[in-house]
């Protein structure tokens, strides 16, 4: 192919990335990041899906399903934050009806595990002073309390758990002989889901060369949590022990309370696999203790080798309203930029495209260098030590990254 030498030689791509656009302030930043940091450097090949709330409503959410299936086909996707509709949004956007969370729909189709990793910058010290390297959280995204059945009990009576198999044979156990009013809940998980969670964690640990920690409360919940421990152990022994030894990494199981106590004394640099509820709570703790929600990246890894990258934060609604009134907001695009660099690096890795891989690394380096040299958005300015040189709006910040990217 002939290049005009007066222009920057653009990097070419062999296969597309599935690009999923979204809503509000993140949609504004999405276009900005593409225009300033990607299109001048890469002959970007994407298959585009518009998951704005308007378009999800217009297509009766078909576009969300199409996007998820496109990720299955092309293996790599990158997603902007999207509004999960509720009654307020229904009125605001004049929707035909409410739609399920796009992330839940995509997760169900890809059957994945979500990994969340903070972007670490020297000038933003984590609240936990011993943390030197990022702690990555893997959250099991199926079952437990998120798919529970619960009852309010009005007065004394017996509560039982009953399982009836295909032939009608029953197993039953008394949950409680209630002495008075109260509450009760039942929950479940599936061996298949636990096993694919375990495999996703072992694979991610290998890929990123990170030790893996897993913790439950199996001393109390001997059967339920015990099953998680057992399946992780079995799969590790059969499929991953040798690979871990070769990679020089370890798998470590402990009790959840012991894990929490160790995490705050560790220097970081490991993958922490969490059951659904633990992951929900601990990922917010890690995000806020590491710095800012705007610095948390997220990747959905499915057991069949499919990857979807996104920022962990939402659409930053209040900033969007200010932007619509003509204000230049200081919304932080770092997690969105890292979603793109993650997707480009994965595409490069699958396609053996070393130029694209180098570009993805340069994009991250330029972003981190910009912050470390004192140019940052308002959310980081509050946390930075030394204090920032300049507090920039999103447009100035992206320009500052572009300037550095051109020199790398």
Site for ligand NAP, rule CB under 6 A: 81-84, 103, 293-294, 310, 313-318, 331-332, 379
290 vs 312: CA distance, rounded Å? 13
C-alpha span between 203 and 201 (Å, rounded): 5
Query: Comparing C-alpha atoms, which of 393, 395, 330, 333 is closest to residue 367?
Result: 333
Pick the closer one to Mg ion by CB: 211 or 284: 284
Binder of residue 123, out of ligand NAP, Mg ion, none (CB less than 5 to 8 A by kind)? none
Residues in the chain: 408
Taking CB atoms, the residue at the shortest distance from ligand NAP is 314
Q: Choose the contact partner of 332 out of Mg ion, ligand NAP, none; CB within 5 to 8 A by kind.
A: ligand NAP
- Residues lying near Mg ion in the complex (CB under 5 A): 280, 284
In whole angstroms, give the CA distance from residue 193 to residue 11.
39
Burial of 139 (0-12, 13-18, 19+ CB in 10 A): buried
- Cα gap 188→142, rounded to integer Å: 9
Nearer to Mg ion, 123 or 276 (CB): 276
The partner in contact with residue 11, picked from ligand NAP, Mg ion, none with C-beta cut-offs of 5 to 8 angstroms by kind, is none
- Cβ closest to Mg ion, residue 231 vs residue 273: 273
Select the binding partner of residue 284 from Mg ion, ligand NAP, none (C-beta < 5 to 8 A, by kind).
Answer: Mg ion
Q: Residue 318 CB, nearest distance to ligand NAP (Å)?
A: 5
The Cα 76–Cα 301 span in angstroms is 10
The partner in contact with residue 103, picked from Mg ion, ligand NAP, none with C-beta cut-offs of 5 to 8 angstroms by kind, is ligand NAP
Nearer residue to ligand NAP within complex by CB, 189 or 292: 292
**How many Cβ atoms are within 10 Å of 268's Cβ, its own excluded?**
20
User: How far apart are CB 99 and ligand NAP at their closest, in Å?
Assistant: 11
280 binds, among ligand NAP, Mg ion, none (CB under 5 to 8 A by kind): Mg ion
CA distance 77 to 99: 21
**What is the nearest approach in angstroms of Mg ion to the Cβ of residue 279?**
8
Q: How far is the CB of 284 from Mg ion (least distance, A)?
A: 4
Shortest CB 198 distance to ligand NAP, Å: 24
Closer by beta carbon to ligand NAP, 114 or else 136: 114
Q: Which does 254 bind (CB under 5 to 8 A by kind): ligand NAP, Mg ion, none?
A: none
The listed partner (ligand NAP, Mg ion, none) that binds 317, CB under 5 to 8 Å by sort, is: ligand NAP
Q: CB nearer to ligand NAP: give 294 or 405.
A: 294
From the list ligand NAP, Mg ion, none, pick the one residue 318 interacts with, judged by a Cβ distance below 5 to 8 Å according to partner type.
Answer: ligand NAP
Calpha distance 398→37 (Å, rounded): 8
Burial (CB count <10 Å: 0-12, 13-18, 19+), residue 131: buried
Closer Cβ to ligand NAP, 34 or 229, answer by number: 34
For the bound state, the minimum distance from the C-beta of residue 54 to ligand NAP, rounded and expressed in Å, comes to: 14
Instruction: Compute the distance between CA of residue 58 and CA of residue 52 in angstroms, rounded to an integer.
Output: 10
Q: Nearer to ligand NAP by C-beta: 42 or 381?
A: 381
314: partner contacted, choices ligand NAP, Mg ion, none (Cβ within 5-8 A by kind): ligand NAP
Looking at the Cβ atoms of 274 and 357, the one nearer to ligand NAP is: 274
- In the complex, least distance from residue 104 CB atom to ligand NAP, rounded to whole angstroms: 10
Q: How far is the CB of 308 from ligand NAP (least distance, A)?
A: 11
Query: From the CB of 255, what's the least distance to ligand NAP, in Å?
Result: 30
Tokens for 170?
Answer: 């029953």
Of the pair 82, 353, the CB lying nearest ligand NAP is at 82
Q: How far is the CB of 138 from ligand NAP (least distance, A)?
A: 17
Tokens of 126: 């984590």
């Amino acid at each position: 192919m002939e290049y005009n030498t007066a222009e920057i030689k653009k990097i070419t791509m062999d296969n597309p990335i599935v690009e999923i656009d979204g809503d509000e302030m993140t949609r504004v930043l999405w276009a900005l990041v593409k225009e300033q940091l990607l299109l001048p450097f890469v002959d970007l090949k994407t298959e585009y899906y518009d998951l704005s709330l308007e378009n999800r409503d217009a297509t009766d959410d078909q576009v969300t399903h199409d996007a998820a299936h496109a990720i299955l086909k092309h293996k790599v996707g990158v997603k902007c934050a999207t509004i999960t509709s509720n009654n307020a949004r229904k009125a605001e956007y004049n929707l035909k009806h409410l739609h399920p969370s796009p992330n839940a729909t995509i997760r169900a189709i890809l059957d994945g595990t979500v990994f969340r990793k903070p972007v670490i910058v020297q000038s933003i010290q984590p609240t936990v002073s011993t943390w030197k390297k990022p702690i990555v959280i893997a959250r099991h995204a199926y079952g437990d309390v998120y798919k529970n059945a619960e009852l309010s009990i009005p007065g004394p009576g017996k509560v039982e758990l009953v399982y009836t198999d295909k032939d009608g044979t029953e197993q039953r156990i008394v949950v409680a002989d209630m002495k008075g009013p109260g509450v009760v809940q039942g929950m479940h998980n599936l061996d298949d889901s636990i096993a694919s969670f375990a495999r996703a964690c072992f694979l991610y640990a290998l890929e990123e060369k990170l030790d893996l920690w897993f913790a439950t409360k199996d001393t109390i919940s001997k059967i339920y949590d015990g099953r998680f421990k057992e399946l992780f152990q079995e799969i590790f022994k059969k499929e991953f022990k040798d690979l871990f030894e070769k990679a020089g990494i370890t798998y470590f199981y402990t009790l959840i309370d012991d894990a929490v106590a160790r995490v705050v004394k560790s220097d970081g640099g490991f993958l922490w696999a969490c059951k659904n509820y633990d992951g929900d709570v601990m990922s917010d703790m890690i995000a806020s203790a590491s710095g800012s929600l705007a610095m948390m990246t997220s990747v959905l890894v499915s057991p069949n080798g499919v990857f979807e990258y996104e920022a962990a934060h939402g659409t930053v609604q209040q900033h969007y309203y200010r932007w619509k009134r003509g204000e230049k907001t200081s919304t932080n695009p770092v997690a969105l930029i890292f979603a793109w660099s993650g997707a480009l690096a994965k595409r490069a890795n699958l396609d053996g495209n070393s130029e694209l891989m180098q570009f993805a690394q340069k994009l991250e380096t330029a972003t981190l260098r910009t912050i470390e040299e004192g140019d940052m958005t308002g959310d980081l300015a509050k946390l930075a030590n030394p204090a920032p040189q300049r507090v920039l709006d999103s447009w100035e910040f992206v320009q500052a990254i572009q300037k550095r990217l051109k020199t790398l």
